[in-house]
Structure 1
């Protein structure tokens, strides 16, 4: 497939000075005069200058301001490359569709093609509703997928007059065919979320973590990210001091360090095949602080990717198996696995209907400790309810 017809090339004069030895810019093959060979790349960066989702006016033209990805690219390219190999391409900026729905479909097609060739798309976009197009790129897999999103709110409002970037999660949940198995909502702030929305997440047996829970122990978010096939990140989840280029301004949220930690977990995740970072507004980034924060997040994702361990054979000698017995509860016992290499944990969840088969899912050491104390971990309960 000729992907180049969907993209606008980058300005050579802007990025050429960044090709210094040992910087990422000198290792990334980008679309300037010649479209890069994405079929053999590990990661493909693409910008999407689409902001119509911030308004409910369907006739609004695509944003004419500087593409969000440009400033992020300048910061990212100037960072020193980490250890190990690096095979990354930059496809340029996706041409927006005539309508917002057209842009979703274009993004779907790009994501679908890239992940089919084992190339991970990193999407640097405008409005958060673009995650709907990112999610659609998984429809062809003919299997259920897991999604994690980092956001200060939960974009599931039923208000028909709301902007598209306030209700794209509802679009995802209502999409047919339905292939979403799990959703992990990270970093939400209770006063920004309608109680009915949280009730819906609870009814669907999805995981949701307040920003305070991330502050208290960011490491407990690792299994939530590790189970995901796709991760989306609304930078409004980051406090204004560390990322001011979004509106309305929010003095509370994740720190820049916590955002980078989550991206590191995403990079390490063997299952994760796409990352989208949205809602960066370059007009509000006077000192380019947000561009630097996002670039550093991407650096940690890339570095994490090149440290993946591909741990999948739970019967191999690389894993220790633990069985925890229960006296009078369901289940009568739980099976845990611990990697000897990474020291990460998984647990096996038995279905209510044995015909559905069990699932081995990521978990934390704290989940194991709960089980040894005679308590069934909440993650086990939610997963069993979804399996049926």
Structure 2
């Protein structure tokens, strides 16, 4: 497939000074005059300068184009960072040409994501409004299997208000999409005063997981298993506090720190199953000192670095794992199976289905889940996963 017809090339003048030795700018092959060989790449960066999703339908028709492309400043910061310790098979495809309508852009993004992940190239999307995650999600439809999605956001974009802007209701679109191939949805970093109680009730009813920003502050390490389960991850810049990322609306004084955002992206890069990353809602018009561009660029740097430290921990019957069977009371024949990687020391949990005609699933967990089981308590992660399996 000729992907180049979907993309606008980058300006050579804008990035010519960023090819210093040992910086990412000298390693990333980018679309200037010749489209890069994305099939040979591990990661493909693409900008999506689509912001109509921030407005209601009526306002979107009148909304002017962004004064600056969101991805441009991020690229300038990213290319200037020193390369990490691993390989760097990364390409920059340029900016996706927006469709005539917002829905057209979603469908274009779907097609691009589908093609890239089919060739084992991970798309890293720099947006653009958060509703673009709907296009990112639709790119998994061809897999004909269920997928796990994780989103980092200060609010839960699942309102029933049909007059709301598209970037406030895309999760509802995902839930209602046919065919339905969403197995799990986890939300990280939400703040209760931004979320309607009815929305959280829906989350609980569907056995989805949600973690407040305070839980991330308390222990970002305990959030790692949540990220490790994801096939795709989306990140709304407004989840980061204003001090570290001021270029988003509304301003958020109590969000994640920039360091926590980078830590989550590092976990995402390490995740053997994750095949796409989208970072949305960066507004360059609000980034006077380019602080947010630097934060987003650093997040991508950590994701790339994490990717090149993946350990391919997927064969739980291999000698690289230690298996633990935790028995309950003497009169209870049930037991819980855990796996621990001898290399990374990460933990997984085997969950049996309630229905005998369905297979078990092995899901990421934490050492705390294992300790809880040794005390005779069933971890909440086990309960939630079994409820989704059925």
- TM-score in terms of structure 2 length: 0.98
- Larger deviation: 345-354 or 313-322? 313-322
Once the 2 structures are TM-superposed, how far is the Cα of residue 56 of structure 1 from its aligned partner?
1.1
Q: Distance in 2 between matches of 1:85 and 1:60?
A: 45
Q: Distance in 1 between matches of 2:138 and 2:332?
A: 36
Task: Give ranges in structure 1 of 5+ residues lacking alignment.
Answer: none
What CA deviation, in whole Å up to 9, does each residue of 1:210-230 have, x standing for no partner?
Answer: 000000000011110000000
**Residues 88-127 of structure 1 aligned to structure 2 (within 5 Å):** 88-127=90-129
RMSD: 1.1
Contact 1:50 1:62 in 2 (8 A): no
> Secondary structure of the equivalent of 2:350?
strand
Once the 2 structures are TM-superposed, how far is the Cα of residue 354 of structure 1 from its aligned partner?
1.6
Structure-2 residue corresponding to 1:53: 53
Once the 2 structures are TM-superposed, how far is the Cα of residue 63 of structure 1 from its aligned partner?
2.1
Q: Distance in 1 between matches of 2:212 and 2:262?
A: 18
Structure-2 residue corresponding to 1:302: 304
Structure-1 residue corresponding to 2:35: 35
Contact 2:54 2:166 in 1 (8 A): yes
Match for residue 260 of structure 1 among 259, 262, 267:
262
Contact 1:62 1:96 in 2 (8 A): no
Once the 2 structures are TM-superposed, how far is the Cα of residue 159 of structure 1 from its aligned partner?
0.5
**Residues 71-86 of structure 1 aligned to structure 2 (within 5 Å):** 71-86=73-88
Contact 2:51 2:66 in 1 (8 A): no
Q: Distance in 1 between matches of 2:178 and 2:103?
A: 16
Once the 2 structures are TM-superposed, how far is the Cα of residue 19 of structure 1 from its aligned partner?
0.3
**Residues 200-215 of structure 1 aligned to structure 2 (within 5 Å):** 200-215=202-217
Structure-1 residue corresponding to 2:144: 142
Q: 1:329 to 1:269 in 2, by over 3 A?
A: farther
Structure-1 residue corresponding to 2:291: 289
Structure-2 residue corresponding to 1:337: 339
- TM-score in terms of structure 1 length: 0.99
Q: Distance in 2 between matches of 1:61 and 1:92?
A: 23
Q: Distance in 2 between matches of 1:256 and 1:64?
A: 25
What CA deviation, in whole Å up to 9, does each residue of 1:109-146 have, x standing for no partner?
Answer: 00000000000000001100000000000000000000
Q: Distance in 2 between matches of 1:89 and 1:283?
A: 26
Once the 2 structures are TM-superposed, how far is the Cα of residue 316 of structure 1 from its aligned partner?
1.3
What CA deviation, in whole Å up to 9, does each residue of 1:187-242 have, x standing for no partner?
Answer: 00000000000000000101100000000000011110000000000010000000
Q: 1:212 to 1:32 in 2, by over 3 A?
A: same
Q: Distance in 1 between matches of 2:333 and 2:61?
A: 55
Q: Distance in 2 between matches of 1:240 and 1:64?
A: 21
> Secondary structure of the equivalent of 2:130?
coil
Contact 1:146 1:229 in 2 (8 A): yes
Q: Distance in 2 between matches of 1:24 and 1:2?
A: 26
Q: Distance in 2 between matches of 1:331 and 1:123?
A: 48
Is it true that 1:231 corresponds to 2:233 in the alignment? yes
**Residues 11-30 of structure 1 aligned to structure 2 (within 5 Å):** 11-30=11-30
Structure-2 residue corresponding to 1:196: 198
> Secondary structure of the equivalent of 1:221?
helix
* Number of residue pairs aligned between Structure 1 and Structure 2: 388
Task: Give ranges in structure 2 of 5+ residues lacking alignment.
Answer: none
Once the 2 structures are TM-superposed, how far is the Cα of residue 59 of structure 1 from its aligned partner?
2.3
What CA deviation, in whole Å up to 9, does each residue of 1:312-351 have, x standing for no partner?
Answer: 1111111111011122898811000000000000010000
Q: Distance in 1 between matches of 2:62 and 2:340?
A: 52
